[in-house]
Amino acid sequence: MKKYLFLLVGVLLITSCMEVKKENEVLTNRNDSLVAVLQKRNADLESALATISDIQTGFQKINDAEGRINVRGEGGELSRTPQAQLKNDLEFITETMEKNRQRIEELESQLKASGNKNASLQKIIKNLNNELSVKVEQIAKLQNELSKKNIRISELDSAVNTLTHDVNTLHEANVSQEKVIAEQEATLNRAWYVFGTSKELKEQNILKDGKVFSEDDFNRDYFTAIDIRTDLEFPLYAKKAELLTNHPKGSYYMKTDESNNITFVIIDPAQFWSVSRYMVIRVR
């Protein structure tokens, strides 16, 4: 009997070890996958930051070159800056601007290809596009001032025409980007609330056996979408109310008007919505 007992224990130990080994392999594979994803994201972010640094360096060089150009001297006369130096500085500015434009496009494509919906990076790209648009307008204005002084630089004319043509494209890209960012921010700050009697909440499968969301088939369309940044007060048109969903105490309170009707007030939106983005209030 003892022999069979030892044999049974041995089999169980072997089986248990095999199961533990299999679980370890699954966890290891899962961990390797997560590490690979994180490494790729870090690599994409580092590449994006390097590109942003190059673009900002380009803008700084443009500013330095602009600082060397003095179209108006004392009394409004043309400064004594040699025309060859003026030509070189202007060519450098337009060439660097074109390179920056291309790098910004590369950055946008890189961010889109990575699937990383990073609102901060998108805002940076938007600001870079805005800065490029401002520089294009400044160069066009400078070219106009040179024309008034009968100074024509054919290379500058060509560059200004090309860059000016890009202003509308950049504007359209900025408008599109602003729309995407606004949509993302709206999604990040969206929550849903509902209030009703026990009967109404039960009819929508929101409340069942005294519990909210006990089943997943509740009517989501019955909820009202709100912006947690601006929607802070909720008139309930009832004398009694009870918050059924879980939200941190101290982040809200209820007040009554002259008719003793209750208004639900959120005083700390970040804390209040940190637990759940759904709010359910039962009224009586």
Res 194 pLDDT > 90? yes
Query: For a pLDDT cut of 70, what percent of the chain falls above it?
Result: 60
How high is the pLDDT of residue 77?
Answer: 46
How does pLDDT run across 142-169, given as a tens digit for each residue? 766 766 655 555 555 555 555 555 555 6
pLDDT tens-digit series, residues 245-256: 999 999 999 999
117-121: which pairs have CB atoms within 8 A and are 24 or more residues apart? 117/184, 119/181, 119/184, 119/185, 119/188, 121/48
Distances (CA, A) of 2 to 5, 10, 12, 16: 5, 12, 15, 21
Residue 187 vs residue 194, higher pLDDT: 194
3-state secondary structure of 215: coil
Q: How far apart are CA 69 and CA 85, in angstroms?
A: 9
pLDDT on residue 29? 55
260: left (phi over 0), alpha (psi -120 to 50) or beta: left
**Mutual orientation of helices 83-114 and 154-188 as an angle, nearest 10°?**
30
**Residue 217: its pLDDT value, please?**
82
Q: How far apart are CA 241 and CA 255, in angstroms?
A: 11
> Is the pLDDT at 78 greater than 60, yes or no?
no
Instruction: Give percent of the chain with pLDDT exceeding 90.
Output: 27
Let me know: does 138 contact 110? Beta carbons within 8 Å.
no
Average per-residue pLDDT for the chain: 74
Displacement of CA 59 from its chain's centroid (Å): 24
pLDDT at 31: 53
Of the candidates 235, 234, 241, the residue with the CA atom closest to the CA atom of residue 191: 234
Strands (E), 107-246: 190-196, 207-208, 211-212, 224-227, 233-235, 241-243
Listed range (32-36, 181-185, 269-273) with the worst mean pLDDT: 32-36
Write the pLDDT tens digit of every residue in 29-77.
555 555 555 556 656 666 777 777 777 787 777 777 777 665 544 444 4
Residues 96 and 57: beta-carbon distance below 8 Å: no
List, in sequence order, every residue forming a beta bridge with 242; answer none if it has no partner.
Answer: 282
Give this prediction's pTM.
0.44
- Under 8 Å CB-to-CB from 232, ≥6 apart: which residues? 265, 266, 267, 269
Q: What is the pLDDT of residue 180?
A: 65
Q: Which of 23-27, 99-103, 177-181, 267-271 has the lowest mean pLDDT?
A: 23-27
Q: Find the mean pLDDT for residues 230-259.
A: 94
Residue 222 CB burial class (10 angstroms; 0-12, 13-18, ≥19) = middle
